[in-house]
Amino acid sequence: MIRVLLVEDSITQREILRRLLNDDGEFSVIAEARNGREAVEQVAQCRPDVVLMDIHMPDMNGVDATREIMRRFPVPIVIASATLKKREMDLGLEALKAGAVSVIAKPEGAALLHLQKIAPQLREELLSASKAKIRRLATPPSPPARPPVRPALRTGDIRIIGICVSTGGPPLLLEVFSAVPKPYPLPVLLVQHISFGFEEGFARWLGAATGQPVAMATDGQNLEPGVRIGPGGRHLALASRTRLELQPRKSDDVHCPSGDPLFESLGKHFGANAAGIVLTGMGDDGARGLLALKQAGGITIVQDEASSLIWGMPKAAKQSNAARHELSPEQIARVLTEAAESKFHSHDPTSS
């Protein structure tokens, strides 16, 4: 049984969530808290396997509680946000930055029917979070005295980059995109598994936090430098060397957007001039597409196990023999930096 601490100031919603989790058979709600301050105390006393925490609470909100828990008693935390309004989304994303594993949208209102709608996603998020490797949140490390070791790969050939990431992605992307040239001069196509409705808030947050040009991808738009994020319910891919397309979801798709169609399209249209990167996350999304990109001559990279919050997606790609390189976030940032520097000495990445 996965031992859950339930943190929610609404008595009604707490009762409903407790019932949903206890009836599942996989979880056991071992303690409850009405606010962030109580949550910190309960984590210290009960040491749960995972915390499900509301974002808006009296006395101490979910962001501050997450920050305090990660500083003192690191444990996987899933944040539940009641609305998708800008302020609430930004708080949820700040909770990810503070160390939360994921954030989900909780329907407004206390009706049982509404909360039951998120039961499958809630179950998946809690299961995923319970498997995460959690480290104590410390002050940001000072820059290394020496730059990370340069990976032996042909960064000068890179004209476009595709990235697929899931659980643990937002703070990792914040780290990587903050460390590369601004504005980034190459097109970066990003598939981030995140709760439906959070994509635009995530794009806004990532751009503001990193200083990079970040925006949602749109169907048919021209391929341009900067980061473009795939929207929920559509697959981000290339229609040609100069144009994006958003492909419809198929009935058997586990993830949408998915890294597989993205990487496959990079291989088709750019081949050896494309780089594909699979980062932390549960499952195997991106492995098939990364192999196709490798077979097309592209540069394929997975995040190393030591730095991955969940080494599921990178592991699957590695086991599929899809990865040419296994790198740390610092090394990945170095690769992206060298590719950007090489861009100024080569032709336009969108030329045919």
Confidence band of 156 (pLDDT split at 50, 70, 90): confident
165 CB burial (10 A radius; 0-12, 13-18, 19+):
buried
User: Do 128 and 312 touch, CB atoms closer than 8 A?
Assistant: no
Catalytic, 325? Answer no
Of 175, 199, 227, the residue nearest 92 (C-alpha): 199
Asked whether 115 and 89 are in contact (CB, 8 A), the reply is no
Q: Please name the residue ranges forming H helices in 131-233.
A: 169-178, 199-210
Q: How far apart are CA 5 and CA 274, in angstroms?
A: 44
In words, the CATH class of domain 155-343 is alpha beta
Largest Cα–Cα separation, the chain: 62
Please give the single-letter amino acid code of residue 35: N
Tell me the sheet residues that pair with 204: none
Residue 7 in contact with residue 51, Cβ under 8 Å? yes
Nearest-10 crossing angle of helices 169-178, 86-98: 80
User: How much of the chain is helix, strand and coil, in % rounded to 5?
Assistant: 40, 20, 40
pLDDT band at 113 (very low <50, low <70, confident <90, very high): low
304 is an active site residue? no
pLDDT reported for residue 198 = 86
Cis peptide before 74 (omega within 30 of 0): no
Residues 39-50: tens digit of each pLDDT = 999 999 999 999
pLDDT above 60 for 141? no
- The answer to whether 193 is a known catalytic residue is yes
Specify the residue for token string 């929207």.
231
User: What is the token pair recorded at 140?
Assistant: 């940001």
Please report the sign of the dihedral spanned by the C-alpha atoms of residue 306, residue 308, residue 313, residue 317. Answer: negative
Q: With contact defined as beta carbons under 8 Å apart, do 329 and 323 qualify?
A: no
Q: Which amino acid is at 93?
A: L
Q: DSSP assignment, residue 216? A: E
Structure-token pair, residue 290? 């990364």
Q: What is the mean pLDDT of residues 113-125?
A: 77
Domain boundaries, the chain: 2-130, 155-343
Beta bridge partners of 244: 238
Angstrom distance (rounded) from CA 206 to CA 272: 28
The amino acid occupying position 322 is A
Domain range 2-130, CATH architecture: 3-Layer(aba) Sandwich (3.40)
Rounded (5°) CA angle 88-90-96: 110
Q: Is the pLDDT of residue 347 over 60?
A: no
Q: Among 166, 258, 265, 307, which one carries the catalytic annotation? A: 166
Tokens for 349? Answer: 């990445």
The active-site residue, picked from 54, 285, 307, 308, is: 285
What digits encode the pLDDT tens for the residues 239-285?
999 999 999 999 889 999 999 999 999 999 999 999 999 999 999 99
Q: pLDDT digits over 47-71, tens only?
A: 999 999 999 899 999 999 999 999 9
Predicted TM-score of the model (pTM): 0.88
Residue tagged active-site, from 54, 102, 157, 193: 193
Two domains, one topology: 2-130 and 155-343 = yes
CA 153 to mean position of chain CA atoms = 25
